[in-house]
Amino acid sequence: MSWRKEQRRAERGYHHGNLKEALLQAALGLIAEKGAAGFTFADAARMAGVSAAAPYRHFRDRDELLSSIAQRGFEQFESRLTAAWDDGRPDTVTAFERVGRAYLAFAREEPAFYNAMFESGLPVDANPALQAASERAFNIIRAAAERLAALAPPGTPRPPAMMMALHIWSMSHGVASLFSRGDAARRKLPMSPDELLEAEVLIYLRGLGFPTDRRPAGKGAEPPPVPPEASSGSGVPPGGPWGKPK
Amino acid sequence: MSWRKEQRRAERGYHHGNLKEALLQAALGLIAEKGAAGFTFADAARMAGVSAAAPYRHFRDRDELLSSIAQRGFEQFESRLTAAWDDGRPDTVTAFERVGRAYLAFAREEPAFYNAMFESGLPVDANPALQAASERAFNIIRAAAERLAALAPPGTPRPPAMMMALHIWSMSHGVASLFSRGDAARRKLPMSPDELLEAEVLIYLRGLGFPTDRRPAGKGAEPPPVPPEASSGSGVPPGGPWGKPK
DNA sequence: AGCTCATGTGAACGACTTTTACATGAGCTG
DNA sequence: CAGCTCATGTAAAAGTCGTTCACATGAGCT
């Protein structure tokens, strides 16, 4: 019953040729299925068709593989946030909310990455590269917050952008962790996680004095707003950022 | 040299007498140290001075021990939130913020419970008792939100309490997960997690139209507010719910 | 053709989880 | 108090993992 392994070896020769990548992919799949805790180094090796010792030629230990995945995750995360932000087009508030949705979408569509990044218990601060990658991702949110803060309605004190960024991050992460994960969209909600986050952010921005109907109060500093009929669906209903209160 | 085990046995006899509780305590300590992932059934047994097989007389498997801890955690969580809410005294907004701080305090002071409850990857929905306990805890937040929603300033549409509760929960959980965990207060922050959350909640409430200076707008429905000099430190500075913007 | 070194193998170690057959003794029953 | 029973503990064993080590292989360079 070990002709399977022989078979495999016959197919690909003694050397795998691309083991590092294969291990990363295998691990990604396993983490998506069973979570970072349930993922096993040996399993990844098996899935790649190599012995249990082979992975040690490419990763110091199981943790390093996990870190590599988290690192890659932060990079993809950053690029998705960057794309969503799109340098604040067509207007800052719209783009800002798109970033929020992108956060949730990432958590939903890349559960393995999200898990490795935020739920694996990895000591992020122990790995400089990882920390840097994480920071780069956060900086997207920060940059967006900065642009938003600059639009603060005149007359009111300008909110610190850093604080706004942290607030938005915590909201996004909270919603994602609690309500938006793969098979784990555990609680029954009166609204989708996306709607929940969108309303949350809108209420928050309104609390800062921002007009949340997509019509910026400042003039000139902001490109002309999208015509109302173009902001399909995600526009704020007249009553407020939530459905009809009953 | 296995006289240690003999020693222990001599001290307590063949039967432990209170093994279940001892295991729970041991596990709690281990999880606090090394996280739910690093915690080991065998270690707990060792710590309690029994063989590795003994725990199976009290827990079906490692997961059941973890679940028991999470369950207990939710119960303590509920009671702490209940105490913090204190039925909305002295006024709803103050009590509401106290709940937020209690959330963070729990995450900080009971990392083992928090870990088991929210970060262990336990399938909460697979265990009805656990799910119920979790729901009971959340219901505190929901009840508080309901009271708050009832105070919504007249004229504006009344926000759905359930949505508010989910929002507050996500903020609290987001801040706790990202910034407020034991050795893992990873990122450098311009303010403490408590301040961060407090500002976040205040801005949010203001976004809903609530007066956030602790002086309720409605009259009669709310007990008289605390005199300003009594709300030490946690009162809202005149400029807004954050420090001086520079 | 031959060398070398990155890459993979198998065996082995200790730790962990879980099951099984057996041991102990606390507490009830007569 | 004697005897029984059953909850609770033990040791041993099987299977899995992580990790290391000595050794094998063969890709690519000289």
Query: How far is A91 from chain B, CA to nearest CA, in Å?
Result: 20
Report yes or no: B118 at the A interface, CB cutoff 8 Å. yes
Q: Which of A66-70, A109-113, B187-191 has the lowest mean pLDDT?
A: B187-191
Of A175, A189, A203, the CB nearest to B204: A203
What single letter denotes the amino acid at residue B229?
E
Nearest to A174 by CA among B72, B77, B165, B84: B165
Residue B246 lies in a domain: no
pLDDT of residue A240: 62
Locate the DSSP E strands across chain B: none
Same domain for B98 and B122, yes or no, is yes
Structure tokens, B218: 């409605």
**CA of A57, C1' of D30: distance in angstroms:** 26
pLDDT of residue A11: 62
Residue B217 lies in a domain: no
Q: What is chain A's mean pLDDT, rounded?
A: 84
Mean pLDDT (whole number) for A104-114: 96
The 3-state DSSP class for residue A233 equals: coil
pLDDT of residue A187: 67
pLDDT of residue B123: 85
Residue B219 lies in a domain: no
pLDDT of residue A116: 95
Of A35, A160, A170, the CB nearest to B200: A170
Same domain for A46 and A126, yes or no, is no
pLDDT of residue A228: 39
Structure tokens, B147: 């009271």
What single letter denotes the amino acid at residue A135?
E
Residues in A closer than 8 angstroms to B191, CB to CB, are: 163
CATH number for A71: 1.10.357.10
Same domain for A108 and A133, yes or no, is yes
Report yes or no: B175 at the A interface, CB cutoff 8 Å. yes
Same domain for A133 and A196, yes or no, is yes
pLDDT of residue B10: 54
Give DSSP secondary structure letters for A114-137. HIIIIIS---GGG-HHHHHHHHHH
What band does A138 get if pLDDT is binned at 50, 70 and 90?
very high
What single letter denotes the amino acid at residue A113?
F
CATH number for B37: 1.10.10
Same domain for A91 and A192, yes or no, is yes
Q: Which of A6-10, A12-16, B105-109 has the lowest mean pLDDT?
A: A6-10
Burial class (CB in 10 A: 0-12, 13-18, 19+), B226: middle
Residues in A closer than 8 angstroms to B35, CB to CB, are: 121
Report yes or no: A161 at the B interface, CB cutoff 8 Å. no
Nearest-angstrom CA–CA distance, B88 and B97: 10
Same domain for A113 and A185, yes or no, is yes
Nearest-angstrom CA–CA distance, B36 and B27: 9
Same domain for B50 and B151, yes or no, is no
What single letter denotes the amino acid at residue B209?
G
Alpha carbon of residue B99 to chain centroid: 9
Same domain for B84 and B34, yes or no, is no
Same domain for B167 and B50, yes or no, is no
Residues in A closer than 8 angstroms to B39, CB to CB, are: none
Structure tokens, B97: 């913020």
Query: What's the Cα-to-Cα distance from B84 to each of A75, A244, B76, B79, B200, rounded to whole Å?
Result: 40, 31, 12, 9, 18
Task: Count the domains in chain A.
Answer: 2
Report yes or no: A153 at the B interface, CB cutoff 8 Å. no
Residue B244 lies in a domain: no
pLDDT of residue B111: 94
What band does A184 get if pLDDT is binned at 50, 70 and 90?
very low
Is the pLDDT reported for residue A20 higher than 90? yes
Residue B96 lies in a domain: yes
pLDDT of residue B153: 83
Same domain for A53 and A67, yes or no, is no
Residue B105 lies in a domain: yes
Nearest-angstrom CA–CA distance, A54 and B160: 56
Q: Which DSSP helix (H) or strand (E) runs through B234? A: none
Residue B189 lies in a domain: yes
Same domain for B52 and B116, yes or no, is no
Report yes or no: A224 at the B interface, CB cutoff 8 Å. no
Is the pLDDT reported for residue A56 higher than 60? yes
Same domain for A27 and A110, yes or no, is no
Structure tokens, B152: 């919504």
Nearest-angstrom CA–CA distance, A91 and B16: 68
Substitution target in A197, A200, A244, A246 with the highest count of B β-carbons within 10 Å is A200
Residue B203 lies in a domain: yes
Q: Which residue has the tokens 């399909």?
A: A232
Point out the residues of chain B with pLDDT beneath 50: 1-3, 183-184, 215-238, 245-246
Bases on strand C under 7 Å from any protein CB = 6-12, 15-21, 24-26
Mean pLDDT (whole number) for A124-138: 92
Residue A13 vs residue B83, higher pLDDT: B83
Range of the domain at A68: 63-215
pLDDT of residue A39: 94
